Homo-oligomer: A and B are copies of this chain.
Amino acid sequence: MDRVSFKEIAKQYKAIFVDSYGVLKNHNGLIEGVQPVIDQLRDEKKTIRVLTNDASRSQEQQVEMFTSLGLSGLKDEEIITSGMLARHFLELKVKTGKIAYLGTPNSAGYFLQYGLEPIPVADIDLDNVDEIEAFVFLDDEGFNWEEGINKTVNFLRRKNLPIIVANSDKYYPISKNDVAVAIGGISRLIESVLSQKFIRFGKPDSQMFMYAFDDINKTGLFTKSDILMVGDTLHTDILGGNKFGLKTLLVLSGNTRPESVEMKINSSGIIPDFISDSILT
């Protein structure tokens, strides 16, 4: 598949959806040269949304993170996280009571700002679980893994309730060579032990794209053919964009490397509409 220029392709669309890691930033920080590309998209009046499988930070905290890395000008409402979708689900399905979670107090704080009471797994009394109405996998930090995982298993064996995975990624990169297991990976361990499937949020699920699509249609008039989805990962960004009916552009500046892109497309059957080396092209 030929490489194309991202900037040329982008001209044909009214809205650009971009993944965060691998497109805007990598393990070193901001990808050099991204700022002028984003600025140019704004000059061309493109509508932009960043779609990220990250449930540990609020929109405000995401913007602060980008600012600290050196990318200015992103607005809170341009960030769409899998955590927002999970919270939206909870607001609709659970009106009162406590929500147990694995994650940091910060992730629970922003996640449950609308009245539900968060309770970390460590604080659950297994002999008194009546008031807990849902369970959320939020973040891989904020708890002792051995204690937290085992207590979660035993809590979920005791009570049937909605179980939500706010970030479905299995792992995330932390350096050029290394990754860390994400809360989505931990949730799979517990699914395997319980022989259950939990409710997952985040790409490639259609809900994330639907949310972004509905969101941009609040201030404009967009059809699916007006939107280009840009990402570095076949199984999340490209599969999800394809399935939702968007045109998709794979960049090779993140998880998918130039030397293996063809093999990965062939073996997965997930085919982007376009491939660019990065959004700098």
List B contacts of A189 (CB < 8 A). Answer: 181, 185-186, 188-189, 192
List B contacts of A92 (CB < 8 A). Answer: 224-225, 245-246
Q: Tell me the interface secondary structure of chain A in the complex.
A: helix
Q: Are A161 and B245 touching (Cβ within 8 A)?
A: no
List B contacts of A150 (CB < 8 A). Answer: 179-181
Q: Are B271 and A160 touching (Cβ within 8 A)?
A: yes
A165-207 interface with B by 8 A CB criterion: 170-171, 177-181, 185-186, 188-189, 192-199, 205-207
Chain B CB within 10 A, most for which of A158, A194, A266: A194
With A145-B149, A206-B206 in contact, is A242–B195 under 8 Å at CB? Answer: no
A: contact size bracket: 35 or more
A263 within 8 A of B: yes
List B contacts of A162 (CB < 8 A). Answer: 242, 271
Q: Are B181 and A243 touching (Cβ within 8 A)?
A: no
Q: Are B153 and A245 touching (Cβ within 8 A)?
A: no
- Our pick among B93, B199, B269 for the contact of A196 (Cβ within 8 Å) is B269
List B contacts of A93 (CB < 8 A). Answer: 242, 245, 247, 273
- Our pick among B146, B185, B205 for the contact of A145 (Cβ within 8 Å) is B146
- Our pick among B161, B263, B269 for the contact of A198 (Cβ within 8 Å) is B269
Closest chain B residue to A127, Cβ basis: B177
With A160-B271, A161-B271, A198-B269 in contact, is A179–B153 under 8 Å at CB? Answer: yes
- Least Cβ distance of A242 to chain B in Å? 7
With A188-B192, A196-B269, A207-B243 in contact, is A157–B181 under 8 Å at CB? Answer: no
A113 within 8 A of B: no
A24 within 8 A of B: no
Closest chain B residue to A188, Cβ basis: B192
Closest chain B residue to A152, Cβ basis: B181
Q: Are A179 and B157 touching (Cβ within 8 A)?
A: yes
Q: A150-B180, A154-B177, A188-B189 are in contact. List 14 more A-B contacts (CB 8 A).
A: A88-B245, A92-B224, A93-B245, A126-B178, A140-B146, A144-B145, A153-B179, A154-B178, A163-B269, A188-B192, A189-B189, A196-B267, A197-B268, A207-B210
Can you name 6 A-B residue pairings with CB atoms under 8 Å? A92-B224, A140-B146, A145-B146, A145-B149, A149-B181, A206-B206
